[in-house]
Amino acid sequence: MSDLTLGDYQRYGRQLILDGFGLPAQQKLKNASVVVVGAGGLGCPALQYLAAAGVGRLGIVDHDVVEVSNLQRQVLHNENTANMGMPKAESAALALRKINSTIQLDVHTAQLEPSNARLLLEGYDLILDCTDNAPTRYLLSDVAVALGVPLVSGAALGFDGQLCVYNLGVDGPCYRCLFPVPPTGGAVRSCSEAGVLGVVTGTIGTLQALEAIKILAGLHEGRPTLLLFSALSMPPFRSIKLRARSKTCAACGQDGERKGTIEETDYVQWCGGATPDFEATGLVAGDASKRVSAMALRDALKQDPTQARIIDVRPRVEYGICSLPGSTNVPLNELVSSPAQHLTGSASTLYVVCRLGNDSQIAADALRSVADQSVRILDVIGGLRSWSKAVDPTFPVY
Ligand SMILES: Nc1ncnc2c1ncn2[C@@H]1O[C@H](COP(=O)(O)OP(=O)(O)OP(=O)(O)O)[C@@H](O)[C@H]1O
């Protein structure tokens, strides 16, 4: 017996008449619950379609607030919520209520951590991983295994994306079956470092919603597959058939050896620690003799610009967006492959900058390894982001 209202028939009519979907699938969606972790580039389109399709209960988990730089791809947020610095979970809920006021929304402005993960995620039929970092991916996978629910996982960076449903059915692999150990530090870049096209996150997030709807409506074929998307290729999709659950997987394998409970696991440390986020405080992290604040660079340039040479190690495309006057662009990979070649000039101090202050440390170390005592090599803490905050507010932030 259907509990669809007259309004539901009208609202969902275009999918109700689909052969193979019909009333039974709509009824399943209405009774279903999905929790979406991350209301960013992937989460926004996913939530939008899940709400529009009539999934009865949607949980939204995100600890972050909306910023203007999110609007290029995080399509549920808007200029008002960005200017207010509204929590993303609330901003997303605000938009979703306008799309579909008949569904239940659970808003959680919280960071998913080992201590709260079970509490936040249990009771839902399915989890969507719309986050952007390895510790949360492993945590989500472990919790999905523990709760016995499918995990629809998406990822997007640059022009590329990935989609996979983990823990599906009785023997679907989990994230750890595919990636038993996390990638090492330098191999992982975020959207804020590497950039991303909004349509790419839109495509993957939409596909996450599609997979979720198929699973909930009983239309999923159940074959574990990793889908790879490359926006600059035609056709842009490739798929890889995955093996069933690994027997030796530490999380889901029958012979696997789990070390400690989820609550006891330090996922951040296991994934190589958090990326330092140096701000424009002038505080020196690490070896003070090797690093300077943006303000110190400004003072040095004022004092004697002939004694300060600036090497900017950002990619050429970023250098083309904005740069410090008098700086030279040597992208990090070029500099690291032949550092001696870039130790030219008569300045006594060489300042190395990048966007956020991470790549410049690698570049400065490479230069020091081949330099003699006549030149001091310093990297600028917080990079050009700090320059913009602490020295020149008219310098573009991107
Ligand atoms: N452990 C977590 N708990 C809750 N939300 C998380 C967690 N990890 C990541 N997220 C959220 O996942 C979303 C990822 O989306 P996305 O990368 O598009 O956004 P962003 O972090 O704002 O982007 P940018 O890198 O440009 O600042 C973010 O909103 C982030 O706050």
Rounded Cα–Cα distance for residues 190 and 356 (Å):
12
Mean local confidence (pLDDT), 377-385: 96
Mean local confidence (pLDDT), 319-328: 96
Beta bridge partners of 225: 241
Q: In degrees to the nearest 10, what's the CA dihedral of 353, 191, 93, 124?
A: -130
pLDDT of residue 267: 95
Question: Ligand 1: which residue has its CA nearest to atom 25?
Answer: 192
- Map tokens 């300060």 to a residue: 308
Pocket test for ligand 1, best of 72, 132, 355 (most atoms within 8 A of CB): 132
Strand 328-329, strand 308-312: pairing: parallel
118 CA from centroid of ligand 1 (Å) = 19
Beta bridge partners of 33: 57
- Map tokens 């679907």 to a residue: 172
pLDDT of residue 280: 30
Work out which ligand 1 atom sits closest to the CA atom of 190: 25
Domain ranges of the chain: 32-271, 291-391
pLDDT of residue 286: 47
Pocket test for ligand 1, best of 37, 66, 71, 131 (most atoms within 8 A of CB): 131
pLDDT of residue 285: 41
Q: What is the pTM of this model?
A: 0.84
Which residues, in sequence order, are CB contacts of 160 under 8 Å at separation 6+?
A: 200, 228, 229, 230, 231
Q: Which residue has the higher pLDDT, 193 or 34?
A: 34
128: amino acid identity, one letter: L
Cβ atoms of 370 and 363 closer than 8 Å: no
Cβ atoms of 75 and 45 closer than 8 Å: yes
Mean local confidence (pLDDT), 249-272: 89
The ipTM, to two decimals, is 0.98
131 CA from centroid of ligand 1 (Å) = 5
Work out which ligand 1 atom sits closest to the CA atom of 193: 25
- Among the listed residues 200, 156, 158, 150, the one whose alpha carbon sits nearest the alpha carbon of residue 175: 150
299 has a pLDDT exceeding 90: yes
Rg (CA), the chain: 24
pLDDT of residue 283: 32
92 has a pLDDT exceeding 70: yes
Q: Which of 44, 130, 164, 191 is catalytic?
A: 191
Answer yes or no: is the C-beta of 160 below 6 A from any ligand 1 atom: no
Answer yes or no: is the C-beta of 103 below 6 A from any ligand 1 atom: no
Strand 225-230, strand 376-380: pairing: unpaired
Element (H, E) at 29: helix 22-30
286 CA from centroid of ligand 1 (Å) = 27
- Among the listed residues 177, 180, 154, the one whose alpha carbon sits nearest the alpha carbon of residue 167: 177
378 CA from centroid of ligand 1 (Å) = 31
Work out which ligand 1 atom sits closest to the CA atom of 41: 18
pLDDT of residue 281: 29
Answer yes or no: is the C-beta of 62 below 6 A from any ligand 1 atom: yes
Copy the structure tokens of residue 247.
């027997």
pLDDT of residue 122: 97
pLDDT of residue 276: 37
Answer yes or no: is the C-beta of 76 below 6 A from any ligand 1 atom: no
Cβ atoms of 26 and 8 closer than 8 Å: yes
The CATH number, out of the four listed (3.40.718.10, 3.90.76.10, 3.30.70.1450, 3.40.50.720), of the domain defined by the range 32-271: 3.40.50.720
Work out which ligand 1 atom sits closest to the CA atom of 73: 18
As annotated, the binding site for Zn(2+) includes 174, 177, 249, 252
Rounded Cα–Cα distance for residues 58 and 41 (Å):
17
7 CA from centroid of ligand 1 (Å) = 35
245 has a pLDDT exceeding 50: yes
Segment among 54-68, 95-109, 289-303 with least mean pLDDT? 289-303
Pocket test for ligand 1, best of 64, 91, 199 (most atoms within 8 A of CB): 64
Work out which ligand 1 atom sits closest to the CA atom of 131: 12
Burial class of residue 380 (count of CB atoms within 10 Å of its CB; 0-12, 13-18, 19+): buried
Mean local confidence (pLDDT), 321-346: 94
Q: List, for residues 269-298, the tens digit of each pLDDT value.
A: 989 875 433 333 233 344 557 999 999 999
Copy the structure tokens of residue 131.
């986050």
Residue 354 falls in the annotated catalytic set: yes
Element (H, E) at 152: strand 151-157
pLDDT of residue 257: 82
131 has a pLDDT exceeding 90: yes
Q: Report the greatest alpha carbon distance in the chain.
A: 84
Other C-beta atoms lying within 10 Å of the C-beta of residue 219:
14
Question: Taking the domain 291-391, which CATH number applies?
Answer: 3.40.250.10
Mean local confidence (pLDDT), 102-120: 98
Answer yes or no: is the C-beta of 112 below 6 A from any ligand 1 atom: yes
pLDDT of residue 274: 54
Which residues, in sequence order, are CB contacts of 51 under 8 Å at separation 6+?
A: 58, 96, 99, 100, 103, 105
pLDDT band at 346 (very low <50, low <70, confident <90, very high): confident
Q: List, for residues 148-194, the tens digit of each pLDDT value.
A: 999 999 999 999 999 999 999 989 999 999 999 987 655 567 788 88
Residue 322 falls in the annotated catalytic set: no
Q: Is the peptide bond before 276 cis (omega within 30 degrees of 0)?
A: no
- Among the listed residues 215, 262, 269, the one whose alpha carbon sits nearest the alpha carbon of residue 120: 262
Other C-beta atoms lying within 10 Å of the C-beta of residue 331:
18
